[in-house]
Structure 1
């Protein structure tokens, strides 16, 4: 007969302490998930006074998952880009548990952008649409004028880019005059202001070339130059346009719409006009080439004469005749060469003088304008009016009296003349309607005291 079954002894139930359980979970996660890489969108980014950074990573595919992240000061100091909400990143690090609160967190050991997020996607969509319309076609690009004398600059008057452009022209091509079309280059007000500045430059049509300039910055800082209104205004410009926005690595849609893209504002100024010294060097090179070519022609003719003389040893009369013809040809060639060289020698100082005059003309124009303003200001000097026989009347309080209706017989007034002041008293009044008909005087203003 079978033996009755005996109840199995009950094992004691393990009871965890909170700290022990949290620590065990942390150890399990650390062993299960060592170093790992995660991609997501930054949310709630903040930097503590200690330098440590805290943020969350949202699922970039639209899910509801959220992962809390911590990035310590040393890692944050090695970043080469600004971290902001909405930026899609790839983070490498390790899963950990923050035991004081029992929170799951990802300790970031390196971080890099996975793309510029929604703003960059908007940039790409607009670029594709405008490119499909043909706004960026190479066939639309126009060559720059070779020797411009006036160059327009569309930028902010207080921007460092304007100082770079002005100093570059002053150093390389001081004869080129700059015309500034001011506009903000960052913020919500920048796109319509840039469009107005471009329209004003085209309306006035006073420059040979137009530069669109701004210093470097983030994608958000340069966004005004990705605005569709500004890009279309650049593409529609009747003036040849050079876009020098940002640093060499920065790219804006205006770069594609302009006739030429420059990597920096300084490079835009260098591309806009050749250096004065380079032009003078080219003229000197052309003069040297002309001299060498002339000498070569003379040598060729002399050698040809020698060959002809060898073939014509007889009769001597023919030889002498050909020699005379050759001498005459050489003399004509030498004379023409001399005249050409003299003409070039005279032309070089004139060109240099024209270059110096072009640089001095704006200063002379401003001096003339200053003289005109000084003359106009002098014509308004009240003392000149008093010297012509007029007087200024005021009451005892110094208030000006301009009408007889402000006065009464017996009032005491002050009359200011060109060389002093007199106290007078009103003895009679005669309004203008009564003064129209001749009448004997009824009174006068006598000095008082």
Structure 2
């Protein structure tokens, strides 16, 4: 309840201006956490043209995250190149980025503390599935050179689908495309991807199956590292081209697929030869057939 001064004026809670409150919180953090060390996994690491670096530090379970800023001076002292999933130890201070009122960790030094739990899990799964023979080169099938139909497993909302369809329309408009939709990220993605791959094989209408997704962090692409999806690719009744992420991204599906493409667009280009080349092959076959018929008649 409000307390009254002797003059009778009620004294309520203090009303802050936004800037003053944010500044007060920043001062409190600076006083309490002026020097602190924290350990976690690197995610979304980028270096700006200014030389400053920005990334997110996550715990192994993915239940908490902390935005980090490492300014040019500190970044210049790094003796390694931080990558997705690296487990690192940071020293610095907590601060508030006042224009947005966001908590951030200002990094003064960074040291490697291991490959990170997620990357270590990636390596364990790779070794396990490789031991099962899912990555053997002898299992790889030849991609059909002149497909009548291509299947695509990806999200209907993904940019990867647009990239694949655009490339196929430009390159081989005569080829029919069937999309087997599936989420490509999140808890439901692995089971959905495996089901879509199995459905495409059961339908048997496509000559080649493209499994595609755009780029992202190791965490974003994790569905394509799940054993359920890798085994579905290996067991596919249709030859599979993996077009997952950017050229530098690697997933376990890449090892199980019959052919790996560096991007979704490249997957489409590998799936079908250009229309002009296909027509040239047909014209050559026609000439050979005519020549054969003529020789028979002359004989």
Per-residue Cα deviation, 1:80-131 (whole angstroms, up to 9, x for no partner): 8688xx842377x9x99xxxxxxxxxx9566576654010001001101110
Equivalent residue, structure 2, for 1:213: 212
Per-residue Cα deviation, 1:30-80 (whole angstroms, up to 9, x for no partner): xxxxxxxxx9833899xxxxx998999x9xxxxxxxxxxx96544589998
Equivalent residue, structure 2, for 1:258: 257
TM score, norm. by length of structure 2: 0.64
* Aligned with residue 41 of structure 1, among 30, 39, 45: 39
Distance 1:170 1:136 in 2: 32
Distance 1:122 1:75 in 2: 33
Quick one: structure 1 residues 282 and 194, their matched pair in 2 at CA, closer, same or farther if it must change by over 3 Å? same
Contact 1:89 1:114 in 2 (8 A): yes
Quick one: structure 1 residues 188 and 148, their matched pair in 2 at CA, closer, same or farther if it must change by over 3 Å? same
Q: Secondary structure at the match of 1:242?
A: strand
Equivalent residue, structure 1, for 2:278: 279
CA drift of 1:279 comes to 2.0
Q: Secondary structure at the match of 2:39?
A: strand
Give 5+ residue unaligned stretches, structure 2.
1-36, 44-51, 60-67, 94-105
The structure whose residues are more often helix, as a share, is 1
Equivalent residue, structure 1, for 2:232: 233
Contact 1:53 1:76 in 2 (8 A): no
Equivalent residue, structure 1, for 2:7: none
Equivalent residue, structure 2, for 1:196: 195
Segments of 4+ moved more than 6 angstroms: 51-56, 76-83, 285-291
Quick one: structure 1 residues 74 and 141, their matched pair in 2 at CA, closer, same or farther if it must change by over 3 Å? same
Equivalent residue, structure 1, for 2:139: 140
Give 5+ residue unaligned stretches, structure 1.
1-38, 46-50, 59-69, 97-106, 295-332, 341-449
Contact 2:42 2:88 in 1 (8 A): no
Equivalent residue, structure 2, for 1:371: none
CA RMSD of aligned residues (A): 4.2
Quick one: structure 1 residues 141 and 44, their matched pair in 2 at CA, closer, same or farther if it must change by over 3 Å? closer
Distance 1:287 1:113 in 2: 64
Contact 1:202 1:237 in 2 (8 A): yes
Equivalent residue, structure 1, for 2:184: 185
Equivalent residue, structure 2, for 1:224: 223
Distance 1:54 1:195 in 2: 32
Contact 2:160 2:265 in 1 (8 A): yes
Equivalent residue, structure 1, for 2:4: none
Contact 2:147 2:207 in 1 (8 A): yes
Per-residue Cα deviation, 1:144-193 (whole angstroms, up to 9, x for no partner): 11210111000000100000000001100000011010000001110011
Distance 2:172 2:285 in 1: 21
Higher radius of gyration, 1 or 2: 1
Q: Secondary structure at the match of 2:180?
A: strand
TM score, norm. by length of structure 1: 0.44
Q: Secondary structure at the match of 1:274?
A: coil
Distance 2:54 2:216 in 1: 23
Q: Secondary structure at the match of 2:141?
A: coil
Contact 2:86 2:119 in 1 (8 A): no
Equivalent residue, structure 1, for 2:118: 119
